[in-house]
Structures are given as C-alpha cells and as structure tokens.
Chains A and B, each alone.
Chain A
C-alpha cells in the first residue's frame, strides 16, 4: 500500500499567517491526490482535488501543488475558521490511503 506522510503533525499559527502542509507519498501517484479539512464533530470536506484543483465553493486562500511524490497544501491569510485538521488522500492505487493528518491550531 502507498503510504502518505504528512508534516508537520501539528502546527500553531496566527490569523493572517501563511502556512504550508506537506504530504509525501511512498511512491509516485501522479496527480491523484486530494486534500480535506475536518472540524471537530464534523465529516471532512474536500478542498483540493487532482493535486491542484480547487473544489467549488472553497476559498481561494487554499491552494495545492505537487506531482509524483511530493505535495503541498498552502493556506494564505489564515482565518479563524481555518483552524482544523487537514488530511491528504491518494487515489492512484488501491487500497486508497490517507495521511495521518495535520492539526492546525491557533497560536
């Protein structure tokens, strides 16, 4: 199975900051990667798909980049509602796998 390793596992930042979360795949997955945001007690919501495409209705503060094994999620100008846990997920091969998550907290 393809392993996805996210870093950091947790992150403290302030409103207005720019943050970057990375996701590294154990083997190449082309662009078959999505990013999700999850808030406590809620199901996840897709932010980015196909590595770089912004899901409809999602703020343009969020952007994704990468191809192959290294991917990033960038949030520009953090807003209070952005403090949550973020997961990457690969669709390149079965079994589908998620990263372990990155918890973004308010500093």
Chain B
C-alpha cells in the first residue's frame, strides 16, 4: 500500500464546475499538507499549504484536511480552462526526515469550454 493514494484521473469537467480533488494517506504522523499544480513540462507550483486539520481558503481554492479520516481535499470553484493541469497532493512530518515530502501520484484535470 502506498503511503499516499490519489486517483490519477483524468478528470474532465465543464467550465464553471466545482472540482473536488482528494488524497488519502496512511501515516498518521503527517502534519503538513500541500497541494501543488503542475502544468505540462513545468515544475510544480505551490497552491495551498495547511497545517493539521481544518480548512483554508484562497480565492477559488479551498483546502480541507481531516486527520481523523486521513483524508485531504482541494476544491476549485468556478473552474476555468486555465485550471487544466495535474494536481499533486503532498505531505510531510513535523519533525524528522527534514522537509522531505511524500507525494500522491497526481490527478490530471481537464476543464472544457
């Protein structure tokens, strides 16, 4: 079993839809949770960075962390064609392991006109 599970998609939605992206994980010691967006042939771009359980909102993006269920989500409201990319969840421990991240496999999202 992988430490972090993420549906690879592809996920195709119409423009304006609400998108829900999810990851589950097995290591309860993870405390920091991130979502990265990666366009084709580019490096990942940090979208959201949260600590422990709770919600965080930034514009059209909302990140949720439920540590009791070991489940994190990223919601994208009013999705746009420019949101078409691969979304990677990542997480790390509080101490130990440096700042090493454990990634999900990424979900490919396509927002269609």
Tell me if chain B binds chain A.
Answer: no
